[in-house]
Amino acid sequence: MNKPQSFFHLHLISDATGETLLAAGRAASAQYKDARAIEHIYPLIRTEKQLMKVFEDIEDEPGIVLYTVVDQNLARMIDSRCAAMGLPYVSVLEPVLSVFQSYLGTPAGRRVGAQHVLDAEYFRRIDALNFTMEHDDGQLPGDIEDADIVLIGISRTSKTPTSIYLANRGIKTANVPIVLGVPLPESLAGARRPLIVGLIATAERISQVRQNRLLGTTAGFDAQSYIDRATINEELAYARQICTRHNWPMIDVSRRSIEETAAAIVALRSRTR
C-alpha cells in the first residue's frame, strides 16, 4: 500500500539566478517519492534588506533552506536566522569551495555569479528575472503588456515557481491571482502582446497543497474555507469561466512538474507566435 504523499517547503536563496540550487534541491527531493517539495526560489539576493524580506516569507512557510551566497556576511546571517528558527540549512557551494581551496592551496575569489558569461543572453535572463520578481502575484498590473507570458490561476497552482523557471530562460513572466468573484485587472483583458495561460489543477491536489500552506497562516484566516474542496471547485469553475470567455489556453498542473508545465507553456507560445 502506497503512503499518502506529503508536502514540505524548500527555500532556495541565491545571489545569482538560482539554477545551481534548483538542480541540487530537485536532485535531493527526487530521492523521496512520498514527499514533494513546494519550491520557493529567491534569486539575486545580494543585500541585507533583500534577505530580511526573504526571511519574512520563510517565517510564514518554514522548511528546508538551501543557499548559494558567496558574501560571507550574508551567509552568516542566513546561518544565524535559520539556527534561531530551528530550521535545517545548507550552503550548497561551501563544501565544494573548501575542497577546491584545500587542493589548489588558495581561497576562492568569491565573485557573485562568476559562473555566468556576461553576454547578451545572460543580461536577457537577468532582465527577465527582475521583471518577473516585480510582477509576482498581480503586482504592477499596468505593465502587463511588457510581459512575454502572463500566468493566471487560483491560489496554489504553481504560478510563482513556474514564472521564475521561465524567467531563468529569459522569458519575462508575470502572474496574476484569480480570486473568486473578483474581476481581473482591465489591463489583462486588453493585453495583446503576451501569451496569457490559465493554470488549473484538481480540487484534491490544491486542497492537499493548501493544507501544508496553513503552517504559516495568521489570526483571522478562514482555514476551513481555504482547503474546502467544494469551495475550491467553485474557484476552479470561476477560473475556467474566465479563460473560456477570453479564449485563453489552460494547463492542468495536477500531475506536472514545474519543468513540464514550463515546457507546455513554451510550446503554446511557439504555436501562437
Reading the chain (273 residues) residue by residue, the pLDDT tens digits are 556 668 899 999 998 878 888 888 888 988 888 888 898 999 889 999 999 999 999 998 999 999 999 888 999 999 999 999 999 999 988 888 788 888 788 766 555 555 545 566 777 888 999 999 999 999 999 999 999 999 999 999 999 999 999 998 899 999 999 999 899 999 999 999 999 999 999 999 999 999 877 655 555 567 888 999 999 999 999 999 999 999 999 999 999 989 899 999 999 998 876
- Spatial distance between the Cα atoms of 147 and 97, rounded to a whole number of angstroms: 38
Q: Is 1 helix (H, G, I), strand (E, B) or coil?
A: coil
Identify the helix (H) or strand (E) that includes residue 40: strand 35-42
Ramachandran class of 153: left when φ > 0, alpha when ψ lies in -120 to 50, beta otherwise? left
Q: Is 137 within 8 Å of 158 (Cβ atoms)? A: no
The shares of helix, strand and coil residues in the chain, as percent rounded to the nearest 5, are: 50, 15, 35
pTM of the model as a whole: 0.62
* Vertex 244: Cα angle to 177 and 252 (nearest 5): 60
